[in-house]
Amino acid sequence: MLSKKLEDALNEQINKELYSAYLYLSMAAHCEAESLPGFAIWMRLQAQEELGHAMRFFDHVNNRGGRVVLKAIEMPPPVWKSPLEMFEQVLGHEQKVTGMINHLYELALNESDYATQMELQWFIAEQVEEEDSAGQVVDQLKMVGDQATGLLMLDKQLGTRQPPQQPAAGGPE
């Protein structure tokens, strides 16, 4: 059984994961409008991944006897100055999410909730991957600079991203 404190924190994390999906969808829309379909594919897949994260938390709360309470999702920005600015925001956002996951883990430790600690281990590893992926694109965009050819090559590369394979959290399949 989840403590009320941990249940509330996990519900907040569900909201943040849904916001992340919304943010990435907004970025995908921006990329589509800027004729960068590869960037848009990358962002759409990132949005799907974030929805999967939200559902994993959703299932965990339900499986532990908690109550999921959904809140309004904040509106994301609609426009970015450049792909570099957008991916710098992606990296910063993922670093912020890492901090939230670490805080949840600390809370689960303090509450002696071993099952939630185990679930959060997956998210901790996932965040290492998220930050690395975004950081690589930031580095590549910095290398490309203002070169249109390089940007188009990167767009093509990002368009080859495949949908994530996420293990189920124990909810209905």
Q: Domain spans of the chain?
A: 4-158
Check residue 159 and report its DSSP letter.
T
* Portion of the chain with pLDDT greater than 70, in percent: 95
Q: What local confidence, expressed as pLDDT, does residue 164 receive?
A: 72
Q: What local confidence, expressed as pLDDT, does residue 163 receive?
A: 86
CATH superfamily of 4-158: Ferritin, core subunit, four-helix bundle (1.20.1260.10)
Q: How far is Cα of residue 59 from the mean position of the Cα atoms in its chain?
A: 17
3-state helix/strand/coil string of 89-152? HHHHHHHHHHHHHHHHHHHHHHCCCHHHHHHHHHHHHHHHHHHHHHHHHHHHHHHHCCCHHHHH
30-63 pLDDT, tens per residue? Answer: 999 999 999 999 999 999 999 999 999 999 999 9
Residue 5 above 80 pLDDT? yes
Give the chain's mean pLDDT: 95
Q: What local confidence, expressed as pLDDT, does residue 118 receive?
A: 97
Q: What local confidence, expressed as pLDDT, does residue 172 receive?
A: 43
80-122 pLDDT, tens per residue? Answer: 999 999 999 999 999 999 999 999 999 999 999 999 999 999 9
What 3-state DSSP class applies to 72?
A: coil
Q: What is the mean pLDDT of residues 140-164?
A: 94
Q: What is the mean pLDDT of residues 64-77?
A: 98
Q: What local confidence, expressed as pLDDT, does residue 171 receive?
A: 46
